Amino acid sequence: MTTPEVDVSAPDDPFLWLEEVDTPKVRAWVEARNEETRKALCDARFEHDRTSLLDILNAQDRIPWVIQRGDCLYNFWQDDRNPKGLWRRTTLASYRTAAPEWETILDIDALARAEGEDWVWRGCTSLPPGHRHGLVHLSRGGADAAVIREFDLADKRFLEGGFVLPEAKGSAAWLDENALLVSTALGGEPFQTTSGYPRTVRHWHRGTPFEAAPVVFECGRTEMSASGWREHSPTYPRTCFMRRPDFFRTAFFVEDGDGAQRQVDIPADAYLHVERNWLVLNLRSDWAVAERRYKAGALVVADIDALLAGNRDFTVLFEPTRTCFLQHFAAAGNTVAFKVLDNVRSRILLARHQNGAWRVEPVTGLPGMETADFYRLVADDIDWLGADEHEGETFVVASQSSIMPPTLWLARPGQDAEMLKQAPARFDAAGLVITQHRAVSVDGEQIPYFQVCRSELPLDGSHVCLLTGYGGFQIASLPYYAVSVGKLWLEGGGVFVIANIRGGGEFGPDWHKAGMRAGKKLAHDDFAAVAKDLIARGVTRPQRLACKGGSNGGLLVATC
């Protein structure tokens, strides 16, 4: 018996043509499917809900999120009049007021109209300390690839004859006002990894053709990407490079005074941050070094120069326990801020180096909260800011929950948090409570979940319940203030449930790894266990239970 020949060149997918996403034929097909959906679902109730939600999303009293560059606070703002957005700035004093005075730097809607392009804002990298030179990133229609164009932040215009890079995956970083480190996939296969990301870093001088820019760093073609950047600290200037073999591993290099690139001997799977002369690491695996073992999930810090000289001594700023794990960290000056989840409840702490030692203290002055996040306010090194170190060592903390709108606070070492902005309530949360429960998964693991509902909820199985989860990339699912859920679901009496399944970041690296690859089914089993527990407790019944998710959560929901 002979095996029949198969024509492997002939595609067996009749919808393969849909991958050409921007052709007239594909757009027509998509519009036809959209019309089917509109006819099936978009009734008068839908239009009412849609209008209500759009009014909230376009509200002018939303909190504008800011970052400080030099003396100004910068914000990117979108609303119904500016759907593509305004890049604008103000002062801290003005931002504190109810109606800040904003100066528009770049109007993306006007730019798109003038150039006939579907521009989407991807940010701007500016050069400290003056922040006059900026590299604006714009993508067409929201694609991963972006165009990079030099922008004058003082004159508020693109610089004629300035740095310009055509559309590609990658980035660029300032070395000084006349040179960039460019990590881009431009140039074809020699400059791309098999994933389509940049394989090289090139040193591009102003006034020279980019094609002539020499390669100063590279990774292997089968690795994920290569990148480079400059730490613009006047006291600790440093050029850094990174190879990423894959999504979770890195190789970190620093350039010495002779231009040689030296790899720093640290775990490949650690998350790292460079601030002044500090190297801060969040470990994803146990690490044994210099007769000491550091636990997976620990946050450690060391002096970079000492490391390069052979010193292997790290200071532990945080070490996880069975129920308390690190979620996020950032550094500013001589302060490292970090967020932990303790039984999936948020806490923010500040570690400050002073008088030769690190001291860790919680941020004080905050109200009780379900969820807190933070970011560094000031983009500049503290040495650019003069005598007041605290100005540079400032973090913005956002506190919120599923029923409490966001409030922004300024947090500095040794000081109580100072309220900065508070968002108005967007739905009626009277009588709503957040409770925490646990389900038992197929292997006996306890799976926590948050339940948001009326405080007096009869457990008779009658309630409509919406269950969501994520379970990936070490991201924790927490009770954030979700306007759409609050307005369209909770306000109408629905129950909302957030499942903390494996694969996420609720309980550290092991919890994350348990829901990866061969363990992915466990994450799905965890989600199903929460659904069963809701039914067993009498919160809902199968006919009244729905689930939703996006991205990794979308795959989860599709499976379940």
Just give the CATH number of 432-559: 3.40.50.1820
Among all chains, which residue has been given the structure tokens 């129920």?
A: 323
Contacts of residue 295, defined as CB under 8 A and 6 or more positions apart, other chains included, come to 283, 286, 319, 320
pLDDT in tens, 293-302: 999 999 999 9
* pLDDT at residue 259, as a whole number: 86
pLDDT in tens, 413-446: 989 999 999 999 999 999 999 999 999 999 999 9
Among all chains, which residue has been given the structure tokens 């925490």?
A: 436
* pLDDT at residue 143, as a whole number: 87
Average pLDDT over residues 377-388: 77
- DSSP secondary structure, 350-404, as one string: EEEEETTEEEEEE--SPPP-SEEEEEE-B-S-GGGGTT-HHHHS-EEEEEE-SSS
pTM of the model: 0.85
477 CA to centre of own chain: 13
**Long-range contacts of range 162-168, CB-CB < 8 Å, 24 or more positions apart?**
163/135, 163/204, 163/206, 165/210, 167/139, 167/140, 167/143
Pick the closest to residue 272 from 306, 232, 310, 299 (CA basis): 299
Looking at the predicted structure, is the pLDDT value of residue 32 above 80?
Answer: yes
Integer-rounded Cα Rg, in Å, for the chain is: 26
d(CA 230, CA 486): 43
- What separation in angstroms does the CA of 109 have from each of 141, 411, 546? 13, 35, 38
pLDDT in tens, 447-457: 999 999 999 89
Mean pLDDT of the chain, nearest integer: 92
For the chain, give the number of residues.
560
**What letter would DSSP give residue 65?**
P
Which of helix, strand or coil describes residue 126? Answer: strand
- What separation in angstroms does the CA of 273 have from each of 276, 315, 340, 400? 10, 15, 17, 27
pLDDT in tens, 208-235: 999 999 999 999 999 999 999 999 999 9
* pLDDT at residue 529, as a whole number: 98
Exposure of 384 in the CB half-sphere (CA atoms within 13 A): 22
Confidence of residue 390 (pLDDT cuts 50, 70, 90): low
Looking at the predicted structure, is the pLDDT value of residue 120 above 80?
Answer: yes
Confidence of residue 504 (pLDDT cuts 50, 70, 90): very high
- What separation in angstroms does the CA of 221 have from each of 189, 251, 254, 439, 500? 9, 15, 21, 45, 37
* pLDDT at residue 388, as a whole number: 54
pLDDT in tens, 347-381: 999 999 999 999 999 998 887 667 999 999 998 88
Do 224 and 245 meet the contact criterion of CB atoms below 8 Å apart? Answer: yes
Residue 136 pairs in a beta bridge with 124, 149
pLDDT in tens, 73-114: 999 999 989 999 999 999 999 999 999 999 999 999 999 999
- Tokens representing 375 are 């970011």
Looking at the predicted structure, is the pLDDT value of residue 4 above 80?
Answer: no
Looking at the predicted structure, is the pLDDT value of residue 389 above 60?
Answer: no
Average pLDDT over residues 308-334: 93
- Tokens representing 218 are 């590279």
Instruction: Give helix 520-536 / helix 552-559 axis angle, nearest 10°.
Output: 60
Q: 528-558 burial by CB neighbour count: b if 16+ within 10 A, else e?
A: bbbbebbbeeebbeeebbebebeebbebbbe
Q: Which of 1-5, 46-50, 256-260, 392-396 has the lowest mean pLDDT?
A: 1-5
Higher pLDDT, 268 or 343: 268
Pick the closest to residue 172 from 135, 213, 144, 209 (CA basis): 135
d(CA 288, CA 501): 30
